[in-house]
Amino acid sequence: MSIGDRWLRWVGLLIAVGLVRLASAQDLATDTRIAFVSERDGNAEIYLIRPDGSDPVNLTNHPASDTLPKWSPDGKRIAFLSKRNGTTDLFAMNADGSGVTPLASVVTDFAWSPDGTRIAYGDGKAVYLGDQPTISVVNADGSNAHPVAAGDEFAWSPDGTQLAVMSTGQRASAEPFPRLFEEAIVVSADGSEAILAYSTSFIATGHSTQPFTPIWYQDGSRVIFFTALWSGHRHYRGGRAVSVHPDGSDQVFLPELYSRPLSISPDGMRILWTLLPTQPGPNTLLLSVTDLSGTNAQRLSPASLSISDASWSPDGTHILGCISRLKSPGDVGLYLVAADGSERERLTSWDDYQPDWQPIPAVAPSMVFEGTLPAGLSIFAAPLRTDTLSGGGQTISVAEDGGVLMARHLIRLGSTVCVRLVDGHWEAVIGREGRIVFGRDFPIEAARGYVINLLSPIAITVVGTAHGTPAPASPASPSAVWAFAVAGRVEDATILPEGTRVRVRNTRLSRAVEAAIESDGSFAAALVDGDQQVTVGEGDLVVLELVARRGEIMGRTTALRVSPDDLRNASAVASVSARPERTHLLPNYPNPFNPETWIPYVLADSGEMTIRVFDTRGTLVRTLIQAVRPAGYYTDRGSAVYWNGSNDAGETVASGVYIVELCQGSSRSVRRVAIGR
């Protein structure tokens, strides 16, 4: 069992005793808002209004175009697209328009994960296949962006572990005409596993295909994929809707509806469609509602004529949509239509579009967790998806500080370290006086354990929605700990070869870990034992070394003796100098060689230096370099000395052993190299 699995087991075995408090959906519904795009100010801005059309507020108020607002599942943030940086990029902001945060660049569409911690987006960068865009996932704070799959349209599974992705396009074939293809996959949210759920190809000259956003059953048991076939004049010529299990089994084709799916009802039982035009000339948009099987279609009454960009109200009783100036110039604006199409209420009279109704927060029960974090080392797993975190005489509003619980919040609470396991290695931040002094901040994710260290017990109160429990560890021994972080700064780090890392090693227990050096020269490493066996004890000698890619030790080694205060903080701060201790040659590569090799070297001081080659009798064969060089590391092929196996006359020398000599001032270093012809 891996350390990560073991931590999840600990989290699952411990049950938190909390006070559950449910919010009133009826009370909250009266305070919801509708986000939408309006051009009433001369350019596309994101506005808010109440459900009755009152109190319009311009949230973005920016000269660039801001479009496609989408509420986070908890109704506290809005993600949107903006051209304020020249390209169409993804941003997020708080519900009042503050805290605008860039998340991703060159984005065409996006969707919040069900828990609101991540956003999937199509970036159009065509990393994977032909001219298909790439679907990527990014944390809600803009961190950890990573590609997942190639595709056009996508939708999160209800549990947030998978994405349904639909792709269409053309592929070359042996026939005179290219084949149109449709391909649907279900891929894990990290992109590690993908299942082909449905695929087909066919020839249709003069036509093109278009995918639509997939729709999941509310229980995640099935997903529906949609495509449309268009003629060369962009007239709808038919479509396909396929309902399958996520593993691709039990394919069921829904009836032909000549429709584009818009959204699924809040109860997960009905699909809202726009009926697409099938004939040339002006067309009036119609709305239709069916069940999940595509049957029992109900065409809404004329009150829904020309309504587009439609979506459900949170309670499923109304449909929110717009009429564009292209369809009916005198009727532009947002409209609220009864779910049966019987009524239509005009909310705005401007060219407004892309409406999105704020979710009712009460759909996720609010909970309060109260507990005590012990002094010393412990494993912390967030007991709730945190809105506020209180303890030690302070209250931290996570919802107003990025919306995601972060390591900095635990440091502010009083922890001196916060350590996580990522891809098999440990990452750490070190805190002093409530702020991070070394290491990069990271999110505290659901159902994961994090090592923290408190100087004294702290009673905490967490308000949010449930997803786990804190798992306190056994109190740490005053003379030894099972987790210990070391952080600091590398002096003159810019002279180090690319890829050099800091190795932290406990000489008594032969435990070691490496950490990357950040652009500012800082580093943070953690020695952790998932079985809570001792990693560092009082009086241990911990050595810090700079290690190049090929294993050479660079700079000057730092040694620190672990003190009782270090153990109490479960961390220590130290600096490492990148300045070379001595001038010397490093092993050449390759060796033996034929016909060429590179000879790396290190200069402790600036000044004139020479590198020469002698045979075993001491006769000078070649002067490779005689120049003034600054102190530093000359190790890669661009800076190391090159020898092609010839002498000063340009003649190829014989096979055998040769002596390379580096001289600078009073320093001299020699190494043997071998030529094998």
Strand partners, 288: 273, 299
* Angle at the Cα of 208 from the Cα atoms of 205 and 212, rounded to 5 degrees: 150
Q: Tokens standing for 10? A: 């600990």
Give 607's Cβ-side CA count (13 Å radius): 10
Asked which of 9-13, 61-65, 147-151 is least confident by mean pLDDT, the reply is 9-13
- b/e per residue, 25-58, with b = 16+ CB within 10 A? eeebbeebbbbbbbeeeeebbbbbbebebeebee
Q: What is the mean pLDDT of residues 420-447?
A: 89
Query: What is the Cα gyration radius of the chain?
Result: 32
Strand partners, 241: 226
Q: Cβ distance 606 to 653 under 8 Å?
A: no
Would you call 188 exposed, middle or buried from its count of C-beta atoms within 10 A (0-12, 13-18, 19+)? Answer: middle
Give 67's Cβ-side CA count (13 Å radius): 17
Structure letter (DSSP) for residue 131: T
Q: What is the mean pLDDT of residues 497-523?
A: 92
CA distance 467 to 400: 20
Domain 584-675 top-level CATH class: mainly beta
What CATH number labels 480-577? 2.60.40
Q: What is the mean pLDDT of residues 452-469?
A: 81
Q: What is the mean pLDDT of residues 651-659?
A: 94
Would you call 107 exposed, middle or buried from its count of C-beta atoms within 10 A (0-12, 13-18, 19+)? Answer: buried
More confidently predicted of 80 and 207: 80
Is the pLDDT reported for residue 206 higher than 70?
Answer: no
pLDDT in tens, 85-122: 999 999 999 999 999 999 999 999 999 999 999 999 99
Q: Cβ distance 41 to 351 under 8 Å?
A: no
CA distances from 469 to 375, 398, 563 (A): 18, 18, 33
Q: Give the model's pLDDT for residue 472.
A: 42
Instruction: Tell me what the pLDDT averaged over the chain comes to.
Output: 83
pLDDT in tens, 351-385: 889 999 998 754 455 688 888 889 999 888 887 78
Asked which of 60-64, 82-86, 132-136, 353-357 is least confident by mean pLDDT, the reply is 132-136
Is the pLDDT reported for residue 28 higher than 60?
Answer: no
Give the predicted TM-score (pTM) of the model: 0.53
Q: Tokens standing for 492? A: 């003159």
Percent of the chain with pLDDT over 90: 48
